Structure formats: C-alpha cells, structure tokens
C-alpha cells in the first residue's frame, strides 16, 4: 500500500481496509424496533394513499406501516412481498425520494416524509431472517417457462410463475444471479452479500432452476427456447454500453463505469480496486453518481462529474446529486467532452437554444488520470426477429413482444423507467399474463 493515500496515478489501496469499510457502510442504516415504532406512528394512513399510487409495484404502504405500528412486522413483510418479491433490495436502492416519499402527505405538509423505504427494510429484513420462504407453490401445471436473465425482472417473473405451479429455468449469462442488484448498484446501498442472500431466498419457493454462463445469441437461441419451453420471458437487461465518440476515448485510462462498478461490487474488501487521484466521470445518470461517489470513498482526491446538459435535465435525482456533492464530488453542467488526452479531458461549453443543445465554442480542460464513461447502456444480443421501440424490445401493456409466446420486461424492454422496482413490476405482471396465456 502506498504511504501517500493520494499517490498520483491510478492505484489500488489508497486507503486502509478499515477506512474503506467505514466509507462503504450502509447509506441508510436499519431502524431498530423503537425507531420503527416511532416512524410508523407518523403515517396518516391516508384513505387515497398517494404513496401507493406512486409505487411502481403498488404496495399497500399504509397497510404495511400500520402492521409495523401494531407490532407485526412479519405481517407487514407479507404485504410487501405479495406485490414485490424483491422488496428487501428495493427498500435499499429504490429512489423513494422521487416515488412514494415524494408523494407522502407529510412531505407535502412538512417537508419531511415518512421514511417508507427504511420501514420497508425493517419489515422485510425481519421476515427474511427466518430463512424460510413465506409463499408456497400451487399444484404443478406441467408447463415449463424459460426466463432469460436472473436480474430483478427475471427473478420476479420466475417467482410468480413458480407460485402458479409452473417450472422455470433461468438462463443467466454471468457466473452469479441478481443482475444489476449484484453487479451494478453502489456498494454502500447494499453492503455485503445481500443480493446473493436475497436471490437464495427467492429461489426458496422451489420450481426454479438457474443455468449460469448461458447467453442469448451465444450458445442460446430464441428459436431453441421457443421449441423447448411453453413460454419465454426476456429480462436480460442492457448488456451494451453507448460509445463515447471523441478523440482519445480508447486510451488506457478510460473505461466504462458499469464495468468498474461491477469489479468493485465483486471485491471482498475493495482495497484491490484501482482508482485515480483525479477522476472524471462523463454522464448524468445514476451510474455516473454511483461511480463518482465510490471513487471518492476509495480515496480519489478530485472527482468531477461532467454532464452535457443543465442541472434540470440530469437523470440522477436531486437527492443523488446532493449526495454526490456531500461526498466531495464536483458536478459541472453544460459540458460536453471534446477530447481525452493523456492528462485530462477537454470539454466544450454548451447551452440550450430552442430546445436544442448547442456548443458555445468555449473549451476548458479538467485534469484526469482516470476517466469513467457513464453515458448510458444499450441492448446487446437482441434477437433480430423481435420488433424494437427505439433501442429496446417493443412490448405491449402485458409485456408481450412482437413474437408469439415471447414476453419481455425490465431494462431491455420499452416502457417504464430503468429502475429495480419497475423491473420487478414488469416481470411480475408479465408472469400473470403468461399464466393466463398458458391456461393452466
């Protein structure tokens, strides 16, 4: 380990293991029983439940909070899991500040919503600690469904199908399941092995088998899946990354933020993850925030997010932007990359004119020994026989694709926001439609 924690250049071990462990502790620590009781008492139990209306999985939020307030957190967890089987992870990573908590009447009246996310974690953690699955399978139907991708959409779909009595095989390209929950989210949002613990817990329903190292359009074809299964659900997410088409983008110190985050997520103590002294992250979404914050937590001295549009257009929420700046990340708006050099990134100033982004001609350079691209992902390995909507698989309101017997949901499909909770809802709802179509 270098003696100077900010040795120039990209290096691992800038901070001690103990310091890194403290930096990556839970962003929102769990509530104890007393804290949960006090927080649940703040709920008005609104009859029209704007929080539930704002939840993509339509969890009955007033009901589960009342169940916590009456001392039955396990019952609250059942209320949550009946709508969102990945409610444990969603309690940790959901942007509640722009969903249920933003809609909370307490937020409207006082500027301080009920902490719905932390209450959800309190309930789900309690039930999951029992290490027994709360749902049982229906009688076996004799039907077999293929699910491509063991991420949130695929797992939610597989679980609901298994509950209905169908047998499910999940085909997962990587060596672990969980999708973005395992490889893509910031480590401080779900520390430890929670993603894998939750995966094992979901599989406890029975009737679900996972084959790892099976990639669609690799050794696996859609024709094969259709021929050997009664239905197919595609939930493989977005495996490709948008290209950064500027001079110098292929230099050695430039890499995709999603790959860097994935390596960090798989590291035992993160002391082996190289990080620069001066890090520039190009992009304006959640991946950009997660990469930038984690670079700081690993010991980078200067971390800058550069986004080509203004603050209002940034995909990352106000909460996430504030989180980044609170960790010492600098955010520069209206800055488009022009060139990546050996020592930094040259940007050109931009402005909006008539709804279009134009460059002003003014340039400036930010020093960088590490550059992380976070400019969005794209669909990879999509069968050519499926119709697209934009860059995603086109689906109807039930998740049906243009090909009979094939459904899709989550980030790879057109429709909702690219969020874990949205993917869960789409996987669950597609499973219901698949079950109806199978007539079992």
Q: Are residues 217 and 301 in the same domain?
A: no
Looking only at the bridges linking them, the beta strands covering 370-373 and 240-241 are unpaired
What is the domain count for the chain? Answer: 3
| Residue 166, pLDDT above cutoff 50 | yes
| Residue 3, pLDDT above cutoff 50 | no
Q: What is the CATH number for 355?
A: 3.50.50.60
Residue 8 forms part of a structural domain: no
Q: Are residues 246 and 231 in the same domain?
A: no
Residue where one domain finishes, among candidates 343, 376, 409: 376
| Residue 6, pLDDT above cutoff 70 | no
| Residue 259, pLDDT above cutoff 50 | yes
Q: Are residues 261 and 333 in the same domain?
A: yes
Residue 1 forms part of a structural domain: no
Give the Cα separation of 137 and 272 in Å (integer).
Answer: 43
Residue where one domain finishes, among candidates 75, 100, 128: 128
Give the Cα separation of 393 and 438 in Å (integer).
Answer: 22
Q: Are residues 292 and 324 in the same domain?
A: yes
Residue 414 forms part of a structural domain: yes
Average pLDDT, the chain: 93
Residue 417 forms part of a structural domain: yes
Question: Which residues lie below 8 Å from residue 319, measured CB to CB, with a gap of 6+?
Answer: 95, 97, 98
| Residue 352, pLDDT above cutoff 50 | yes
- 265-282 pLDDT, tens per residue? 999 999 999 999 999 999
DSSP state of 391: T
On whether the CB atoms of residues 48 and 123 are closer than 8 A, the answer is no
Residue 111 forms part of a structural domain: yes
Residue where one domain finishes, among candidates 72, 97, 128: 128
Give the Cα separation of 170 and 154 in Å (integer).
Answer: 8
Q: Are residues 390 and 279 in the same domain?
A: no
Q: Which of 94, 146, 87 is nearest to 120 (CA)?
A: 87
Lowest mean pLDDT among 115-124, 202-211, 416-425: 416-425
Lowest mean pLDDT among 30-34, 39-43, 241-245: 241-245
Average of per-residue pLDDT across 289-296: 98
pLDDT band at residue 5 using 50, 70 and 90 as cut-offs: very low
Residue 23 forms part of a structural domain: no
Give the burial string for 284-322 (b: 16+ CB within 10 Å, else e).
bbbbbbbbbbbbbbbbbbbbbbbbbbeeeebbbbeebbe
pTM of the model as a whole:
0.94
Q: Are residues 316 and 198 in the same domain?
A: no
Q: Are residues 260 and 328 in the same domain?
A: yes
pLDDT band at residue 415 using 50, 70 and 90 as cut-offs: confident
Helix (H) or strand (E) holding 199: helix 194-203
Instruction: Give me the half-sphere count of Cα atoms (radius 13 Å) on the Cβ side of residue 158.
Output: 32
Length of the chain: 440
pLDDT at 42 (0 to 100): 96
pLDDT at 242 (0 to 100): 83
Residue 435, token pair as written in the block: 């079950």
C-alpha 165 chain-centroid distance: 29
Average of per-residue pLDDT across 126-149: 95
Backbone phi and psi for residue 210, each to the nearest 5 degrees, phi listed first: -115, 130
pLDDT band at residue 4 using 50, 70 and 90 as cut-offs: very low
Give the Cα separation of 90 and 412 in Å (integer).
Answer: 19
Give me the numbers of helices (H) and strands (E) for the chain, helices first please: 17, 17
**Between residues 4 and 197, the one the model is more confident about:** 197
Question: Which residues lie below 8 Å from residue 12, measured CB to CB, with a gap of 6+?
Answer: 271, 272, 273, 274, 275
Average of per-residue pLDDT across 355-361: 92
| Residue 7, pLDDT above cutoff 80 | no
Q: Are residues 281 and 186 in the same domain?
A: no
Q: Please, where are the H alpha helices in 267-389?
A: 286-297, 318-326
Residue 97 forms part of a structural domain: yes
Q: Are residues 396 and 371 in the same domain?
A: no
pLDDT at 381 (0 to 100): 67
pLDDT at 435 (0 to 100): 98
| Residue 380, pLDDT above cutoff 80 | no
Q: What is the CATH number for 70?
A: 1.10.1060.10
- 83-134 pLDDT, tens per residue? 999 999 999 999 999 999 999 999 988 999 999 999 999 999 999 999 889 9
- 322-331 pLDDT, tens per residue? 999 999 999 9
CA 243-10-301 angle, 5° bins: 100
Domain that holds residue 54: 33-128
On whether the CB atoms of residues 148 and 218 are closer than 8 A, the answer is no
Average of per-residue pLDDT across 160-165: 98
Q: Which of 151, 183, 87, 125 is nearest to 421 (CA)?
A: 87
Q: Are residues 247 and 336 in the same domain?
A: yes
Residues of the chain with pLDDT > 90: what percent?
87
| Residue 378, pLDDT above cutoff 90 | no
Q: Are residues 301 and 198 in the same domain?
A: no
């Amino acid at each position: 380990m270098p003696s100077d924690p900010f040795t120039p250049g990209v290096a691992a071990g800038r901070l001690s293991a103990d310091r890194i462990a403290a930096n990556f502790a839970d962003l929102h620590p769990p509530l104890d029983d007393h804290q949960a009781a006090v927080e649940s008492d703040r709920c008005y139990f609104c009859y029209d439940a704007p929080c539930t209306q704002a939840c993509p999985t339509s969890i009955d939020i007033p009901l589960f909070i009342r169940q916590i307030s009456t001392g039955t957190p396990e019952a609250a967890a059942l209320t949550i899991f009946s709508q969102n089987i990945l409610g444990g992870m969603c309690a940790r990573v959901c942007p509640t500040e722009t969903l249920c908590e933003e809609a909370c009447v307490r937020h409207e009246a006082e500027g301080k919503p009920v902490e719905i996310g932390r209450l959800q974690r309190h309930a789900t953690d309690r039930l999951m600690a029992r290490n027994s699955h709360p749902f049982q399978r229906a009688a076996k139907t004799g039907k077999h469904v293929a699910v491509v991708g063991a991420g949130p959409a695929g797992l939610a779909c597989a679980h609901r199908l298994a509950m209905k009595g169908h047998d499910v095989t999940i085909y997962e390209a990587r060596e672990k399941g969980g999708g973005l929950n395992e490889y893509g989210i910031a480590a401080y949002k779900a520390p430890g092995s929670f993603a894998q613990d939750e995966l094992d817990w979901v599989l406890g329903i029975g009737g679900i088998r996972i084959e790892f190292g099976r990639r669609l359009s690799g050794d696996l074809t859609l024709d094969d899946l259709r021929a050997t299964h009664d239905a197919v659900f595609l939930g493989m997410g977005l495996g490709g990354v948008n290209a950064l088409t500027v001079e110098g983008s292929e230099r050695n110190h430039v890499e995709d933020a999603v790959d860097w985050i994935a390596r960090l997520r798989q590291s035992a103590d993160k002391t082996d993850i190289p990080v620069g002294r001066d890090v520039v992250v190009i992009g304006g979404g959640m991946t950009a925030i997660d990469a930038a914050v984690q670079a700081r937590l690993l010991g980078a001295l200067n971390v800058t997010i550069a986004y080509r549009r203004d603050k209002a257009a940034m995909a990352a929420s106000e909460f996430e932007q504030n989180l980044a700046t609170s960790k010492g990340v600098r955010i520069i708006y209206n800055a488009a990359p022009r060139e990546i050099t050996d020592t930094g990134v040259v940007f050109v100033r931009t402005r909006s004119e008539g709804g279009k982004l134009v460059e002003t001609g003014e340039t400036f350079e930010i020093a960088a020994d590490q550059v992380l691209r976070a400019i969005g992902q794209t669909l990879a390995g999509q069968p050519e026989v499926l119709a697209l909507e934009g860059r995603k698989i086109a689906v109807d309101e039930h998740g049906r694709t243009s090909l009979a017997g094939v459904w899709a949901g989550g980030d790879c499909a057109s429709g909702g926001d690219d969020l874990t909770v949205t993917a869960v809802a789409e996987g669950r709802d597609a499973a219901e439609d698949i079950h109806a179509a199978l007539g079992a």
